[in-house]
């Protein structure tokens, strides 16, 4: 059997590093930074890391909100969604993730669009 995406991203330590970079990128991205101005970024890193570890086949059990509940009433735009995907690609590249794994992560995130945008 081929290795899980979790394994290929470097397991828990690798994914925590990627997600920490991703959340830091949000704070520096003018399209979305204001959205996170009042957020506890340490908590967000923890939750987003758990979410990705769970979703990629790892052992952590994500206990946060489902994506629709987490983003409801924010009225997030398509441009903001693309900006978050940009932050994700940049975080993957900065952490030397391979092309194949970058594409798999992007595909997973893109498919959450309907649970995040315009709700």
Assess contact for 22 and 91: CB atoms under 8 A. yes
Contact flag: residue 35 with ligand HEM (CB under 6 A): yes
Assess contact for 83 and 33: CB atoms under 8 A. no
Contact range with ligand HEM by CB under 6 A, out of 3-11, 17-25, 63-71, 94-102: 63-71
Of 23, 76, 91, 97, the one binding ligand HEM by CB under 6 A:
76
Contact flag: residue 6 with ligand HEM (CB under 6 A): no
**66: which strand partners?**
none
Residues 20, 104, 98, 57: is their CA dihedral positive or negative?
positive
Interface with ligand HEM by CB under 6 A: which residues?
Answer: 32, 35-36, 39, 44, 47-48, 51, 64-65, 70-71, 76, 80-81, 84, 109, 112, 116
């Amino acid at each position: 059997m081929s290795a899980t995406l979790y394994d290929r991203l470097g397991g828990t330590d690798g994914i925590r590093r990627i997600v920490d970079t991703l959340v830091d990128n949000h704070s520096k991205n003018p399209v979305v930074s204001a959205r996170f101005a009042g957020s506890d970024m340490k908590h967000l890193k923890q939750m987003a890391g758990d979410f990705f570890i769970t979703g990629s086949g790892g052992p952590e059990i994500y206990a946060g909100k489902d994506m629709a509940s987490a983003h409801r009433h924010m009225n997030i735009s398509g441009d903001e969604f693309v900006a978050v995907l940009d932050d994700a690609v940049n975080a993957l590249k900065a952490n030397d993730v391979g092309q194949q794994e970058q594409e798999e992560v992007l595909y997973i995130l893109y498919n959450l669009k309907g649970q995040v945008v315009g709700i």
